[in-house]
Amino acid sequence: MSDAFLVLKSGRCAWGKCLFCGYGRIQGETPSLEGFREKIDDFFKSLGSGVDHVKVYGSGSFLDEEQVSKASREYFIEKCLAEGIDKITVESRPGFISREKIKEFQGLGLEVAVGLEIASDEILDKISKGFHLSDFEKAASLLHEEEASLRTYLLVNLPFIKNLEESLEESVNYAMRYSDSIVLINLLPHGHTPLFRMWLSGVWRFLSREDFHKLAGRYESHPRIELDAETFRFVPIFPKELRENLSGVGERYLTHPHFEVWQDYILRWYRPPLGKKILLFLPCSHRKPYSRSRTHRGIIGILRDYREIHEVMLSNAGVVPREFENYYPFNSYDWDESRETGEIKARYTEVTGERIKRYLQAHGGHYRRVLCFLGYESESFKALRKACNGLGMECRNLLSKEREGKRVLQSEEALEDLRRGVENEAGKV
Ligand code: SF4
């Protein structure tokens, strides 16, 4: 027997103000009863055999009739009964849980999942949760009186907490008293939320998978607790209203918070693609995304046949894996080298050298070889050399030493160096 997941995008969370939640701010279309029936029918048609538990996920509350009407809910229950489903899990805020609604699920094992997040009224207020522990306790009693069960979500690493370990222990102990099961969730920042802004301003940081497990790992083997380190595919997506013009030269364009949070993400969350065992550092380009520039078109033309090569650009925006070149801010900044002063060049080398060093410390173990294709006079090459020397790592520049000039990497001779270099290196791994 197995579980099936129904993702329901219907209406909008009636609250929509929790500090960390991007889903609650999404306005989904509320389907008509007909539309809802169609969706439910399609869902059941797509189910394989042996499913006995349907888990419904959506943003907001399944039990809020503005999101899922009474008639739609009744149709869903009927359908579950007819299809031989034993158990359903739906999500709801405590305020929408009522005895009448729970009774409608008779014949099915009902589990209601509630995002309690933390066992502290003070923090619940600070994160704008819109309810208190007493509301949660009332909902828990009601569910248990009607023989339904309660699944409680707790967020690990909320802001405003002085001691994460103590707070987690208190919340788990509290939730355990009222819940049949608990999920400990690693809090990650959604773009359209105040929490994302807190990350930008440096007052809050997400936990890496490793840090999450260090903190919550002791609950891993508990029979009523589950750990969820990665609730969604986390990539920093900047909402339009936060985006800035990042064209310029100077400290602001080197250590801007939008670049810094991305470097944080690349170091502590990102993982280089499997199979890409050769790291090749490349320059950035004036044209964005980089792959549209003449220099990169030449490079990509040669690398096309070498799938094991991971292209990573060096720029004032940071260390940028090719996969992210189309994301803001990497697709919309510019650094005009002709405006560089000696001082800012030195700063660029210092900051970039440190970023490369950290990247290699975080991900160096993933690669078998570290290479570059950079002008010998470029600040990026100097920064890379400094970082590798500091780490005692070897990094071979595939460009021949005698090549010089402003657009040196576009020349046929340079591209021939690259072709020969990668052919030779790829054969070794
Ligand atoms: S966490 Fe839940 S209640 Fe809060 S805004 Fe998001 S969907 Fe709504």
Please list the pLDDT of the chain residue by residue as tens digits (429 residues): 799 999 988 889 999 999 999 887 777 777 788 999 999 999 999 988 889 999 999 889 999 999 999 999 999 999 999 999 999 999 999 999 999 999 999 999 999 999 999 999 999 999 999 999 999 999 999 999 999 999 999 999 999 999 999 999 999 999 999 999 999 999 999 999 999 999 999 999 999 999 999 999 999 999 999 999 999 999 999 999 999 999 999 999 999 999 999 999 999 999 999 999 999 999 999 999 999 999 999 999 999 999 999 999 999 999 999 999 999 999 999 999 999 999 999 999 999 999 999 999 999 999 999 999 999 999 999 999 999 999 999 999 999 999 988 889 999 999 999 999 999 988 766
> How many C-beta atoms surround the C-beta of residue 147 within 10 A?
11
CA count, 13 A, side-chain hemisphere, 408: 19
- Measure 133 CA to ligand 1 centroid, in angstroms: 16
Q: Measured from the CB, is residue 93 less than 6 Å from ligand 1?
A: yes
- Measure 308 CA to ligand 1 centroid, in angstroms: 42
Which residue, 425, 429, 399, 428, is CA-closest to 412? Answer: 399
Q: Measured from the CB, is residue 140 less than 6 Å from ligand 1?
A: no
pTM as predicted = 0.94
As a whole number of angstroms, the distance between CA 155 and CA 28 comes to 24
Q: Report the pLDDT value the prediction gives residue 198, as an integer from 0 to 100.
A: 98
Beta bridge partners of 181: 151
- Measure 61 CA to ligand 1 centroid, in angstroms: 8
CB 226 within 8 A of CB 152: no
For domain 240-426, give the CATH number.
3.40.50.10630
Beta bridge partners of 313: 282, 320
For the chain, the farthest-separated pair of C-alpha atoms sits apart, in whole angstroms, at 82
In the chain, where the domains are located: 2-228, 240-426
- Measure 115 CA to ligand 1 centroid, in angstroms: 8
For domain 2-228, give the CATH number.
3.20.20.70
Give the nearest ligand 1 atom to 25 CA. 5
Q: Measured from the CB, is residue 11 less than 6 Å from ligand 1?
A: no
Q: Measured from the CB, is residue 289 less than 6 Å from ligand 1?
A: no
Q: Going by CA atoms, what residue is nearest to atom 4 of ligand 1?
A: 18
Candidate from 7, 9, 18 with most ligand 1 atoms within 8 A of CB, to mutate: 18
Give the nearest ligand 1 atom to 21 CA. 6
Beta bridge partners of 185: 155, 228
Q: Measured from the CB, is residue 315 less than 6 Å from ligand 1?
A: no
Sheet holding 369-372, edge to edge: 318-321, 309-315, 278-283, 369-372, 396-397
Q: Report the pLDDT value the prediction gives residue 429, as an integer from 0 to 100.
A: 63
- Measure 58 CA to ligand 1 centroid, in angstroms: 10
Q: Measured from the CB, is residue 57 less than 6 Å from ligand 1?
A: no
Q: Measured from the CB, is residue 59 less than 6 Å from ligand 1?
A: yes
- Measure 88 CA to ligand 1 centroid, in angstroms: 20
Q: Measured from the CB, is residue 28 less than 6 Å from ligand 1?
A: no
> How many C-beta atoms surround the C-beta of residue 327 within 10 A?
16
Q: Measured from the CB, is residue 22 less than 6 Å from ligand 1?
A: no
Residue with tokens 């306790």: 137
Alpha-carbon Rg of the chain, whole angstroms? 26
User: Helices 33-46 and 70-82, interaxial angle, to 10°?
Assistant: 20
Quick one: 78 exposed, middle or buried, by C-beta within 10 A (0-12, 13-18, 19+)? exposed
Q: Measured from the CB, is residue 16 less than 6 Å from ligand 1?
A: yes
Apex 379 CA angle, 427 and 350, nearest 5: 105
Q: Measured from the CB, is residue 189 less than 6 Å from ligand 1?
A: no
